[in-house]
Chain A
Amino acid sequence: MHAEPTVAPPVAAPVRAERFPGTVVARLSARRAARSGAVWGLIFGLSIASSEVSYTRIYTTQAERDALAAAYGSNKATSALFGPAPQLQTVGGFTVFKISMTLMILGAVWGLLTSTRLLRGEEDSGRWDLLLTGLTTRRGATAQALAGLGAGAGTLWLLTAVVSVLSGRGSKVGIAAGPSLYLALAVVTTAVMFLAVGALTSQLAETRRQAASYAAVFLGVSYALRMIADAGVGLHALIWASPLGWVEELQPITAPQPLALLPIIALTAVLAAVAVHLAGIRDVGAGIVADRSHSHRHLALLSGPTGLAIRLLRATVIAWWVAIAAAALLYGLIARSAGATISGSSVREVFAKLGAPGTGADAVLGVCFLVLAVLVAFVGAGQITAARAEESGGRLDHMLVRPVSRASWLSGRLLVAVIVLLLSSVGAGVFAWLGAASQHSSVGFTTLLGAGVNLVPPAIAILGIGVLAFGIRPRTTSVVVYGLLGWSLLVVIIGGIGATNHWVLDTSVFHHMASAPAAPPEWEANGIMTGIGVASALVGGLAFWRRDLQGE
């Protein structure tokens, strides 16, 4: 009745032997880290190139460059935010001042997210268990993953270096290959340190989110220490207490100080070694810091799918709000002193070319609010990818097999998302005003509130297009929203260089936003952006209603 399974004859089949079975984990991590390292390396390189090229186009005469150096060279507010600016009369000095702090922070964020994803994230998903059943040990696998992450960092540096060397060769820029390579190295060192920080927190925490939060706290403290050190209040020695301070002390282009690489290398090596050690003494799946496995019942929000969404998203949203409020407050604080240096000088023209007409604090805030717009758009993107994660993780099934319609589930989530975006934007305006008012700046409350609300339409457009992707090709949701966001940002950065095809510029959700408060919000353009978002969301919602639920 039941046939015995026939035993396959021992044919000498051409089995493809794995040549280095002991390096599977390293290669797997390297492949994934290098992929995102390449993308970010390109963005880093292009940022450096864009800054160099735009400087040579905007500041064409020595007089203009000297005026810029005189204006910002000793400004303590900008020094606290972006680091000191010793040589603004040169292309290199300006570039280091303008982008290195931003790239350092982006690099740190990339580092901590990548390493927590490839270490703790893999463990969370259970894939790590499978890898550990192969020819490796817990320590060996962690060390291999770290080597893979190192390859990712190498890719990041390579792409950054290639683009910045090419840009430096431009006749007007004129930065030699050596200093360009060193600049690329300097901006990538934070990424390397935070890969190691993420590796350590991945051993400490029990979930990926927790591991990333621990690393983010470390980044926040580093930034705050460096800020105090650069604020000109006589505590400059604190710079050596902050990893970001060490990177600043590398002083690429202006006054290279390679000795500052020593603490960077030491910290990275120690963190990596400790991470590998800890990987060997803990259980797979568990953290050194035990997560609370029991909890009292908190039922307040658990009344339905929308309440559940609020409960699941609140920690992330509050973290974003704190970041947005802190950034807005800082921008408000520096606006007056930074603005005073540009009013009445030739720099005013320069700011107008950068898209922030007017004088004083308004102009500075106009540029700063673009950064806030990007942060708010990130919040919007996160809302729709979180909805998709509920579906791909199979958790949405539990709602939709109960008396909950797809329409009410999705509209509830979108309502929450829109409220979150509105509060983020209004908060940005209010906190910028608080900062500005404390410095007796002349920018009014309603102006800044308007500038805050002006941040909503690009985020609504991102959210709506995300819903469209979610409805039609759910597996592409995250690629579409973050791709659109990254592209929009890139277009704005490249657009700063000068003449670009308006068809390209039009594809950026940030291009259509007036740079309030430097210019009044353009409500018609805002209406169109919002309309695009709403229409996309409606089409996406309809497509979602018609399709099958889909897993990963």
Chain B
Amino acid sequence: MATAIRTEGLTKRYGDVVALDHLDLEVARGEVVGYLGPNGAGKTTTIRLLLGLSRPTEGRGEVFGLDCQLQPVEVHRRLAFVPGEANLWPSLTGGETLALLGRVHGHVDEAYRDELIDRFDLDPTKKVRAYSMGNRQKVILVAALMVRPDLLVLDEPTNGLDPLMEQAFRHCIGEARGRGQTVFLSSHVLSEVEALCDRVGILREGRLVEIGTLAEMRHLSALSVEATFDSAVPDLSGVPGVSSVETNGRVVRCQVRGSIQPLLRALADADVTELVSREPSLEELFLALYGEDGHAR
């Protein structure tokens, strides 16, 4: 499968601060990839390097085989970018902004643009100055989607959108996937990433600590188990693989890593009335990677 994005040892330092540390990343064509990490992990730095807005200290990045730094214009013809903060020209109207950005890009699917304006419920005669933050965000979303690029690079694109509009956004990304467009979605709305993405990369302090499908990542993480007892609650804290034991009356919640056999044996002697086990959500995976002591596993 041909690649849409490839980085090799991509590194960015600001003085002594390492914003991105030897990133090796590959995104295949037609994939929808989520890019997660807490604030300051290097998500936006990665994107600005790929877009040629910042210059790497080391390493290189490619988009569709084109060098991001040396052939920016060719790269930009094939992609569209949505930043998380919509700084637009306050004196232009939304419609004028779309016309300008469309002409600068070159080709616009006008029918689709009008459909998007409808779908996002945008008033294009209004000046940017008079828009709310969410409406400004809609303008740049429409501007990116209307050119139907081969690659959509989105940096926290749903900032300021209400839940209805976020739904409309998810619908559009689904359509883009259906048309074979590649999507690179940096976000900290985990439910959004969980709903949309084929693969997820997790970044921490400038390093890619995890990348894979959700299913793959779940194997790496713990299973949540909740057991309700009829009588005495046994002590589960010593059972191999079991951690984070919380007891609340007759209900015990815990995490199980690796084989579940030791826990089942421990429960076999107790009077269990209800047993629920569930795969971790992306949020739990994320918190497992960052939470507690604040260090990646």
Name A residues whose Cβ lies closer than 8 Å to a Cβ of B.
1-3, 206-207, 291-299, 302-305, 308, 312, 393-395, 397-405, 546-549
Contacts and interface: CB of A to CB of B under 8 A. Distances in A.
Contacts of B216: none
Nearest to B254: A1
B81 A546 contact: no
B107 to A, nearest CB: 10
Nearest to B95: A297
B126 A294 contact: yes
Nearest to B124: A297
Given A302-B99, A405-B72, A295 B125 contact: yes
Interface of chain B: mostly helix, strand, loop or mixed: mixed
B100 interface: yes
Interface residues of B, number: 49
- List 3 A-B pairs, minimum CB-CB distance, nearest first: A394-B87, A293-B130, A548-B54
A399 to B, nearest CB: 6
A1 B88 contact: no
A395 B125 contact: no
Interface stretch (B226-234, B262-270, B283-291): B283-291
Interface stretch (B45-53, B114-122, B160-168, B188-196): B45-53
A293 B127 contact: yes
Contacts of B284: 1-2
B272 to A, nearest CB: 21
B267 to A, nearest CB: 20
Contact of B104 (A291, A299, A304, A395): A304
Interface of B: 48, 51-55, 72-74, 76-77, 79-81, 83, 85, 87-93, 95-96, 99-101, 103-106, 123, 125-127, 129-130, 140, 143, 222, 224, 244, 255, 284, 287-288, 291-292
Contacts of B88: 395, 398
B101 A1 contact: no
Contact of B53 (A291, A308, A548): A548
A402 B54 contact: no
A302 B244 CA distance: 59
A404 B105 CA distance: 8
A296 B125 contact: yes
A414 to B, nearest CB: 19
B89 A298 contact: no
A291 B129 CA distance: 10
Contacts of B79: 401
Contacts of B51: 400-401
Contacts of B222: 1
A312 B89 contact: yes
A292 B127 contact: yes
B73 A404 contact: yes
B288 A1 contact: yes
Nearest to A392: B87
Given A303-B103, A398-B101, A297 B54 contact: no
B87 A395 contact: yes
